[in-house]
């Protein structure tokens, strides 16, 4: 039996299995920043306000001065935003703000409705400002789609890392954003997340394998979960059954749906490999989506649109749609209740 149930190429948005909705991968080689924290480069020829061109190795997205995603709403699901490089400035309709950077994760439950902005300020006025992030959309079950909005920060310094050398001393490092892997206690997800249900076995792991490193991916605790591996950088990863059966290769730039109940011996190619692994038991409910709203029925989508038009999900307390936190702010989070924490 094949260890890889399906393979597929990776684009800007990656397909997922229930309970996940999709993964957006942003990788931009931004130039030096201006005094306004935008790119010190001509913007001529870009469709400002909707620039996904990748021209010169970067996009403005919906930003017009600073790249990023100005004020926009969500309802009915969660976003898990993990940064490998760069900075994100968060502001939302609850009055909360945050700045987070490389190795940090923001986990936001949109629930009944929230507006937020995600801007990518270019802080270095002299050199390049590379940005790489993954935004993972994780669905909420029907019973929790209308909970109060919430966000938590998983700072890099508090996120467990499992480091495993193979017999040749070649190292695999796994950042455990969600889901237990080995001894370290995984971070706590938001209270109403599908990931907070222990029986859901939700896992989000960033796997970094050195050149020709080998590592055994243990079987999932429940054969009913889905498990997907995304090889997004490096050369390739070879997958073999722990009993020596099968031997299949996933080239970088491709993803694979894995047999969840089989341990896999993974071996990186000559340039090493960077992978994202997503795992979880399906919610198994209807999914109806319309842009930033993900519900269970067309009627609920219509209600979400009407609620947003009427209430703006609490309004927008900031002077403009694309706030940033200036050049000198460090990593921090200011929560709606006034609690402030510093990145670590």
Answer whether residue 275 is part of any domain: yes
The structural domain count of the chain equals: 1
DSSP string, 11-56: -SEE---TTEEEEEEEEEEE--B-TTSSBSS--TTS-TTSB---GG
pLDDT at 35: 97
As a whole-number percent, the residues of the chain with pLDDT over 70 amount to: 100
Domain that holds residue 217: 161-280
CB neighbourhood size of 245 (10 A): 10
Question: Cis omega (within 30 of 0) on the bond before 168?
Answer: no
Higher pLDDT, 245 or 147: 147
Answer whether residue 78 is part of any domain: no
pLDDT at 2: 81
Answer whether residue 265 is part of any domain: yes
Token code pair at residue 185? 């206690």
Answer whether residue 1 is part of any domain: no
**Angle, CA of 100, 105 and 194, to the nearest 5°:** 145
Answer whether residue 313 is part of any domain: no
Token code pair at residue 9? 């190429």
The CATH number assigned to the domain holding 173 equals 2.60.120.10
On the question of pLDDT at 153 being above 80, the answer is: yes
User: pTM of the prediction?
Assistant: 0.96
Q: What is the mean pLDDT of the chain?
A: 96
CB neighbourhood size of 242 (10 A): 13
- The 8-class DSSP code of residue 198 comes to G
As a whole-number percent, the residues of the chain with pLDDT over 90 amount to: 95
- The 8-class DSSP code of residue 158 comes to G
pLDDT at 3: 86
Answer whether residue 253 is part of any domain: yes
Alpha carbons 215 and 198: distance in angstroms, whole number? 25
Contacts of 12 by beta carbon, 8 Å cutoff, 6+ apart:
24, 25, 26, 52
Rounded to an integer, the average pLDDT of 27-42 is 98
Answer whether residue 258 is part of any domain: yes
Answer whether residue 34 is part of any domain: no
């Amino acid at each position: 039996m094949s260890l890889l149930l399906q393979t597929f190429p990776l684009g800007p948005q990656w397909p997922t299995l229930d309970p996940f909705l999709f993964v957006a991968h942003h990788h931009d080689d931004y130039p030096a920043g201006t005094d306004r924290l935008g790119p010190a480069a001509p913007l001529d020829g870009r469709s400002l306000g909707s620039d996904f061109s990748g021209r010169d190795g970067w996009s403005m997205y919906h930003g017009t001065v600073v790249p990023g995603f100005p004020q926009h709403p969500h309802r009915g699901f969660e976003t898990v935003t993990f940064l490998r490089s760069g900075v994100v400035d968060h502001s939302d309709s609850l009055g909360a703000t945050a700045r987070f950077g490389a190795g940090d994760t923001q986990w936001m439950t949109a629930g009944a409705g929230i507006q937020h902005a995600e801007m990518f300020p270019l802080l270095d006025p002299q050199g390049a400002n590379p940005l790489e992030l993954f935004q993972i959309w994780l669905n909420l079950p029907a019973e929790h789609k209308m909970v109060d909005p919430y966000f938590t920060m998983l700072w890099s310094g508090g996120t467990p890392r499992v480091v495993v050398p193979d017999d040749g001393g070649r190292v695999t490092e796994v950042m455990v954003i969600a889901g237990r892997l080995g001894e370290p206690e995984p971070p706590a997800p938001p209270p109403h997340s599908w990931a907070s249900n222990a029986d859901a076995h939700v896992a989000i792991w960033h796997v970094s394998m050195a050149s020709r490193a080998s590592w055994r991916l243990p079987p999932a605790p429940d054969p009913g979960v889905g498990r997907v591996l995304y090889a997004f950088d490096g050369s390739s990863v070879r997958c073999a059954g722990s009993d020596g059966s099968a031997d299949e290769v996933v080239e970088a730039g491709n993803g694979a749906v894995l047999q969840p109940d089989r341990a896999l011996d993974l071996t990186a190619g000559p340039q090493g490999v960077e992978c994202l692994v997503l795992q979880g038991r399906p919610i198994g409910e209807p999914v109806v989506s319309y842009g930033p709203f993900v519900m269970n029925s067309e009627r609920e989508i219509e209600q979400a649109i009407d609620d947003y038009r009427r209430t703006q999900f609490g309004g927008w307390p900031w002077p403009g749609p694309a706030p940033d936190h200036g050049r000198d702010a460090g990593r921090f989070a200011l929560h709606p209740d006034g609690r402030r924490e510093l990145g670590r």
